[in-house]
Amino acid sequence: LKSTNYLESLLAKQEARKAGADEALCLNEKGLLAEASMSNIFLVSDGRLLTPREASGILPGITREAVLELASQLNINVSERDVSLEDVFQAEETFLTNSLIEIMPLTGVDEKSIGSGRPGSVTRKLMVEYKKLVLASTTSAR
């Protein structure tokens, strides 16, 4: 689905739910992956973290920025670039990010498994580190 605004994102989410899916992947006007309907998306290929660049039409989320920083701290190579749907299907791991779901593994698209069909090691590592970051910021805010 090509998405450029919030209403279209809500409609994409509704369409996904009607089809029995939890989320919809949204393409930009060039047919490249931009984001999910309410989340940013990351892929892991050859140990490298990939995510659509801001020029792809994404909303630059706070959680996305935190994940990019954590990846840098963990010495995980990151590439922000154009991402195709084929890249998703060839990825070893994928996950979604937003403030509510934090980091959520995406293990399949259109009934096709991504990688092993389970959360991968990079995703799990980032989930642990993100939880630590949230706990530290919650504790320091008290």
Active site residues: 2
- Residues forming a β-bridge with 38: none
Report the C-alpha gap between 44 and 20 in whole angstroms: 25
Structure tokens at 36: 């999910």
Residue 16's CB: how many other CB atoms inside 10 A? 17
- Residues forming a β-bridge with 80: 51
* CB-CB contact of 39 with 22 (8 Å): no
Q: Which residues contact 63 (CB under 8 A, 6 or more apart)?
A: 40, 97, 98, 99, 102, 103, 130
Structure tokens at 7: 């209403």
